[in-house]
Amino acid sequence: DWTMGAYREEAIQRIRDQVGSGRVICALSGGVDSSVAAVLIHEAIGDQLTCVYVDHGLMRKGESEQVVGMFREHYNLPLIHADESDLFLGKLEGVSDPETKRKIIGGLFIEVFEKHAKEIGGADFLAQGTLYPDVIESVSFSGGPSVTIKSHHNVGGLPERMNMQLVEPLRELFKDEVRALGRELGLPDSFIGRHPFPGPGLAIRCPGEITREKLDILREADAVYIDQIRKHGLYDEIWQAFVAILPVRTVGVMGDGRTYDFACALRAVTSVDGMTADYYPFSHDFLGETATRIINEVPGINRVTYDITSKPPGTIEWE
């Protein structure tokens, strides 16, 4: 009978058979899929694997430290923390078109990853946390009429350019199975249950021009919002929740003074696979309390709105 423990052993054997004594490189994003893939491959081939965490300066509050810290402390796997935030934020300066943002980030990601791969002397294999739904989606959509809503950020295009074979140990699994495998491999529950986070990060939650000031405000507001959701025991009921900072300042009054600060939007949705989604029906009390906390605790924001758009017609992210 089938168990995750048995699957783990089989998967490890397959990785060893495929890789032999070759070198493998993996882009670690901190998401569940790439993390589980990295830990599994590390278990199979140890230090033949090197992971690169590309820090584009668009992560949430404390996130890079958490991700890198967890991998260094618990797994002792070879990990390069590539802090490229100046490069990414520099190239994004003055850019407000959503697709242009995505293309800049995707292109730089490949460039930076290649640079670090070269620095460690190259590799024979590229590891990816591709899941079964990713595999079928790309097959069933090929050939048919297609409309690109958003260019997704992933490491597609890298293997051809870098002349590497792919190692994709999660190709047969669905998301819930990847989570189960992650638990089997000892990844903490808090990590496995994390909401999805998009490759372009906070860039697509900051419509209009991205500035360091806006990113800092957004990080603080997002941290308060997620704290509220956790305190109310709602985190696991929600597929994804985040704050978007709006490209508009509004007038407010605080104490005996006038304020002129940014407005933000809270987003929270339920979903099964991210393809469709419903907005989460928070209580008015929760929303009111959260708005008060954000305005009191986050300098730079004086107005909070709740996004009640479902998908379709909206998308989950704002860009």
Q: Which residues are annotated as part of the binding site?
A: 29-35
Among residue numbers 170 through 199, which ones bind ligand XMP (CB under 6 A)?
196, 198-199
Which residue's CB is nearer to ligand XMP, number 145 or number 313?
313
Residue 33 within binding range of ligand XMP, rule CB under 6 A: no
3-state secondary structure of 150: coil
| b/e 95-124 (16+ beta carbons within 10 angstroms → b) | beebeebbebbbebbbebbbebbeeeeebb
Bridge partner residues of 253 (DSSP): 258
Binding mask 244-283 for ligand XMP (x = CB under 6 A): ------------------------------x---------
- Listed residue (256, 248, 255) closest to 301, CA to CA: 248
Sole binder of ligand XMP in the list 18, 96, 259, 315 (CB under 6 A): 315
Peptide bond before 198: cis, by omega within 30 degrees of 0? Answer: no
Binding mask 228-247 for ligand XMP (x = CB under 6 A): ------------x-------
Sole binder of ligand XMP in the list 152, 212, 231, 258 (CB under 6 A): 152
Residue 153 within binding range of ligand XMP, rule CB under 6 A: yes
Which residue's CB is nearer to ligand XMP, number 198 or number 207?
198
And the tokens for 23? Answer: 């070198």
Residue 150 within binding range of ligand XMP, rule CB under 6 A: yes
Which residue's CB is nearer to ligand XMP, number 15 or number 264?
264
Residue 311 within binding range of ligand XMP, rule CB under 6 A: yes
Peptide bond before 312: cis, by omega within 30 degrees of 0? Answer: yes
CA-to-CA distance for 171 and 278, rounded, in angstroms?
28
Compute how many residues bind ligand XMP; rule: CB under 6 A. 14
CA-to-CA distance for 24 and 51, rounded, in angstroms?
8
CA-to-CA distance for 81 and 51, rounded, in angstroms?
9
Residue 201 within binding range of ligand XMP, rule CB under 6 A: no
And the tokens for 54? Answer: 């590309």
For residue 173, count CB atoms less than 10 angstroms from its CB and return exposed for 0-12, middle for 13-18, buried for 19 or more.
buried
Tell the smallest beta-carbon distance from residue 123 to ligand XMP (Å).
Answer: 22
Which residue's CB is nearer to ligand XMP, number 115 or number 152?
152
Query: Which residues lie near ligand XMP (CB under 6 A)?
Result: 150, 152-154, 196, 198-200, 240, 274, 311, 315-317
